Structure 1
Amino acid sequence: MLKAVGQALFSTGLQNPGFTPAEKQGQDYETRTYNASKWVSTTLTGTDWDAAMSTGFRRLFKYIGGTNQNKAKVEMTAPVSCFVEPGAGPTCESKFTVSFYIPVEHQATPPEPSDPDVFIEHRKEFTAYVRTYSGFSNEQMKRDELLKLLESLKRDGVEFVDQPFYVAGYDSPFKLTNRRNEVWILKQKPE
């Protein structure tokens, strides 16, 4: 019980997806190749990034709390990722896929979701450029950090696709200091 409370309040001891860091890193970003893995996900459309993240998080939290076919409780993991497929214009709807990494003990056979809006996602191995930042992240911070990462990649002349992209948060809302957030730009378009 204390472990679960500690994890929720301080985001410590949470499982993370496996990745291999590149030998050569940028001066203000990392290059990571994420292993193929399973995530529990939900997709929403809209123009409000923060609202989509909040709704998606709640759906997935119910899944790990036991609202699944097995009624199994699943450990919280980090990060909470959001795959963003931007709309065509500034006021067009974007597609947001919010995801929790499935813990190692459930990777082979994750509990099937009982909510029709929740699904198990099989992510293939992919390489991403990752910029880390702190604080309580919001839509404007995510956009600013994404632009900084894009500028760094252009400066360094590396191969990348500017969209879709990921944003990721590692901390509970109750953690007040040393917060960790990331933006991920993909090296290649996902298959």
Structure 2
Amino acid sequence: MMGAGALLLLGFVCLCSSAVTAEEEASEAYATPAFCRHYECPKYKTVKQYETFEKRLYEQSRWVTTQLELDFFGLGIYKSFRRLFDYINGQNSEGITIKMAVPVRIYVPLINPSDKNATMSFFVPSTLSTPPQPLRADVYLENIPPMYVYVKSFGGFAVKSDFEKKSKFLSEELNGLRLPFDDTFGAAAAYNDPLTLFNRHNEVWYNAL
């Protein structure tokens, strides 16, 4: 089950698309999924479509990440988001602004979880060939190798309990089908700002083994 405090973010996170881009043109060879709208998102292909979820193969990707401290009031969520947003708005080694991409991703450990070992990440657009280094010690870049992921998607204005429920359903489905997956952590992804009223897209992830 996802961490309660962290997933609260995913119902109201603002994607702040006003950031100015300092990037190269994107490749036209890849058809961006409709749910990403006008944002860039990680490239993947669907390996297998199940009845209620899918298995994706993601290409190598880069993320900018910071620790997420879970708390009842959501102050940790705001602080983590602010640190990452400051990075894309010029608080980096090059002083450049970077266009917002999607999703905003949260990883929550499921084995020995605590209120201080979750993380929040922004996807770094692939069109930025060399991302600038963060200026803060508590913000860092991650290179994620290609990976297989089980993904359950759902719509609507999702709140904490929705993400927890979908994550639980996905793990039960994977266990029922005897599909091996990493149950030591779960992930949730937000793709929309609060002003998007229709065709909203939310996801929960488990890494396939």
Q: TM-score range by the shorter chain?
A: 0.7 to 0.9
Counterpart for residue 101 of structure 1 = 123
For the aligned residues, what is the CA RMSD?
2.2
Q: Which runs of 5+ in 1 are unaligned?
A: none
How far, CA to CA, are the matches of 1:50 and 1:127 in structure 2?
31
**Counterpart in 1 of 2:14?**
none
Q: 1:129 to 1:94 in 2, by over 3 A?
A: farther
Q: Which position in structure 1 is the counterpart of 2:108?
A: 84
- Give, in angstroms, the shift of residue 77 of structure 1: 0.4
In the alignment, structure 1 residue 17 sits paired with structure 2 residue 42:
yes
Distance 1:104 1:183 in 2: 22
TM-score, length-scaled by structure 2: 0.77
1:46-100: CA deviation from partner (whole Å, max 9, x where unpaired): 35595544332221111111111111010110111111113626xx425221111
Contact preservation (8 Å) 2:111, 2:184: no
Partner of 2:180: 159
Quote the residue 2:26 is aligned against: none
Counterpart in the other structure of 2:202 = 181
Instruction: Choose which of 185, 191, 201 in structure 2 pairs with 1:170.
Output: 191
Q: Between Structure 1 and Structure 2, how many residues are aligned?
A: 177
Counterpart CA distance in 1 for 2:39 and 2:193 is 11
Q: CA deviation at 1:133?
A: 1.1
Residues 16 and 53 from structure 1, CA distance in 2 versus in 1: closer, same or farther, beyond 3 angstroms? Answer: same
Letter of the structure 2 residue corresponding to residue 57 of structure 1 = F
1:54 correspondence with 2:78: yes
Q: Which letter maps to 2:132?
A: P
* 8 Å Cα contact 1:87/1:94 also seen in 2: no
Instruction: Tell me if structure 2 keeps the 8 A contact 1:31–1:127.
Output: yes
Q: Counterpart of 1:148 in 2: which secondary structure? A: helix
State the distance in 2 between where 1:141 and 1:187 align.
Answer: 22
In structure 1, what residue type is equivalent to 2:44? F
Taking every aligned residue pair, what percent have the same amino acid on both sides?
A: 31
Structure 2 spans left out of the alignment, 5+ residues: 1-16, 19-34
Asked whether the equivalents of residues 110 and 183 of structure 2 are also in contact (C-alpha less than 8 Å), the reply is no
The corresponding residue for 2:67 is: 43
Name the SS for the 1:158 alignment partner. Answer: coil
